[in-house]
Amino acid sequence: MNILLIGSGGREHAFAWKIKQSPRCSNLYIAPGNAGTALVGENVAIATDNFPALGKFCVEKDITLVIVGPEAPLVQGIRDYFENTNELKHILLVGPGKTGAQLEGSKDFSKQFMLRHGVPTAKAHTFQSHESAQALTYLDSCIPPIVLKADGLAAGKGVIISPTVAEAKQAIHEMLVDKKFGEASSKVLIEEFLDGIELSVFVLTDGKNYVVLPEAKDYKRIGDGDTGPNTGGMGAVSPVVFAGPAFMQKVETQVIIPTIDGLKKDGIPYKGFIFIGLMNIKGEPYVIEYNARMGDPETEAVMTRIDSDLVELFEACAKGELKNKKIEINPQYAITVIMASGGYPDSFEKGYPISGLDSVGKGLVFHAGTSRNDNAVVTTGGRVLAITGNGPTLEKAAQQAYEIVGRISWKDAYYRKDISQDLARIEKS
């Protein structure tokens, strides 16, 4: 079958790499893709939110299956557009409709969903722009640190953790009144701080049945030792040593099953990924957030641990036939290290040629923010490459990843040197 993958990051390169291994895949197109996806399939210069152009392309190329990588087109309703357009409604699509994508698109919606369906999560109150006075009064009763969350999509920047009530008051004013995040912060959640250790669990569901993908841990801060500002993610590790079988069983019974049952009870059709951001607090899972897509850079680690044919699973998901489907997962470790532009997550220069890409040997180089400029591959984003190493131990996987990182360079390239070291310490203790 012909497949269209939508997106342009490291997640999409990793999907493309895995999709292309399936005997079911004839032609793979990526819109708009990057210099890495162009090595696996054919890039198509269509923006992820140009639904009419994407639809027209699907008809022209006889596309059977569409995979939506990022959240924005899902929240904007790409599935609804395809389902409501006569010549597109037969096309299989992985990704929820506009209502289901609200699990990610609105933190208030997802909080109410969790509370309604008994999914363990932090206590929270929601305030709207005209309720800023009530929000300030409520903050007086909170024990810091205090978590403030813009309701809508804010490019991963909409969560502020304030160490004092005074700072929380300042921050909520900026969000609700000054509209720091535009419309996204016209509603803000004030949330209880969860003190634990974080991990990501991924589910592929057809709205009734599901398969659980390998779990992963993300490294969100820019600096070694989890210091400095938050980023989209500077690395990932799978499996996660503190998520053993007993914990994962709790995740399944206390989180995954109530979530899928909740979608059914609420009459929300859902065919796609649910990425569950979890806090492990003394062995108990609490949901921090849902996303309606896979994680980035977690996908670049997770894909290397799936032995099943991903296209077969995608097809079953989109047709509503995931019942009795199994996912085969290999036990090896996967470690992904992000190489970023110097300056990221603040401002950074683009357009630097990358050297060393031809001599990487074993391991995988997924492109995140790159494009081809004549004969050179150049940097075009904050997160530029996602390097994945695999091995029978954390150390071996990390060694493979960092060996490749050491061979690749460009002006001001930056990466964290400690990806997986915290987990290695836990494993040893």
Binding site for ligand AMP (CB under 6 A): 122, 147, 156, 159, 191, 193-194, 198, 220, 277, 288-289
User: Could you tell me if 67 and 92 are in contact, meaning their C-beta atoms sit under 8 angstroms apart?
Assistant: no
Size of the site for ligand GLY (CB under 6 A): 6
298 binds, among ligand AMP, ligand GLY, none (CB under 5 to 8 A by kind): ligand GLY
Should residue 214 be labelled a site residue for ligand GLY when binding is judged by CB under 6 A?
no
Nearest to 63 by CA among 99, 38, 28: 28
Tell me phi and psi for residue 355, to 5 degrees.
Answer: -115, 155
Q: Rounded to the nearest whole angstrom, what is the least distance from the CB of residue 295 to ligand GLY in the complex? A: 4
Should residue 295 be labelled a site residue for ligand GLY when binding is judged by CB under 6 A?
yes
User: Could you tell me if 103 and 110 are in contact, meaning their C-beta atoms sit under 8 angstroms apart?
Assistant: yes
From 104, 215, 296, 315, residue interacting with ligand GLY (rule: CB under 6 A): 296
Give the separation between CA 163 and CA 34, rounded to whole angstroms. 39
Bridge partners of residue 221, in order along the sequence: 230
Beta strands, E only, 240-295: 272-281, 284-291
Should residue 291 be labelled a site residue for ligand GLY when binding is judged by CB under 6 A?
yes
Q: Rounded to the nearest whole angstrom, what is the least distance from the CB of residue 192 to ligand AMP in the complex? A: 6
Should residue 206 be labelled a site residue for ligand GLY when binding is judged by CB under 6 A?
no
Give the separation between CA 214 and CA 304, rounded to whole angstroms. 10
State both tokens at 110: 């997802």
State both tokens at 196: 């634990």
Sites for ligand GLY among residues 128-167 (CB under 6 A): none
Q: Mutual orientation of helices 132-139 and 165-172 as an angle, nearest 10°?
A: 170
Q: Rounded to the nearest whole angstrom, what is the least distance from the CB of residue 406 to ligand AMP in the complex? A: 29
223 binds, among ligand AMP, ligand GLY, none (CB under 5 to 8 A by kind): none
Beta strands, E only, 33-98: 42-43, 63-68, 92-94
Should residue 298 be labelled a site residue for ligand GLY when binding is judged by CB under 6 A?
yes
Should residue 238 be labelled a site residue for ligand GLY when binding is judged by CB under 6 A?
no
Tell me the CB-side half-sphere exposure of residue 295, using CA atoms within 13 A: 32
> Which residue's CB is nearer to ligand GLY, number 55 or number 233?
233
State both tokens at 51: 């639904």
> Which residue's CB is nearer to ligand GLY, number 215 or number 296?
296
> Which residue's CB is nearer to ligand AMP, number 289 or number 315?
289
Q: Rounded to the nearest whole angstrom, what is the least distance from the CB of residue 7 to ligand AMP in the complex? A: 19
User: Could you tell me if 164 and 178 are in contact, meaning their C-beta atoms sit under 8 angstroms apart?
Assistant: no
Q: Rounded to the nearest whole angstrom, what is the least distance from the CB of residue 231 to ligand GLY in the complex? A: 9
From 233, 272, 363, 381, residue interacting with ligand GLY (rule: CB under 6 A): 233
Q: Rounded to the nearest whole angstrom, what is the least distance from the CB of residue 70 to ligand GLY in the complex? A: 9
Give the separation between CA 17 and CA 42, rounded to whole angstroms. 12
Should residue 104 be labelled a site residue for ligand GLY when binding is judged by CB under 6 A?
no
56 binds, among ligand AMP, ligand GLY, none (CB under 5 to 8 A by kind): none
Nearest to 322 by CA among 337, 341, 308, 334: 308
198 binds, among ligand GLY, ligand AMP, none (CB under 5 to 8 A by kind): ligand AMP
DSSP designation for 175: I
From 12, 151, 218, 300, residue interacting with ligand GLY (rule: CB under 6 A): 218
Peptide bond just before 331 cis, omega within 30 deg: no
Interacting residue ranges for ligand GLY, rule: CB under 6 A = 218, 233, 291, 295-296, 298
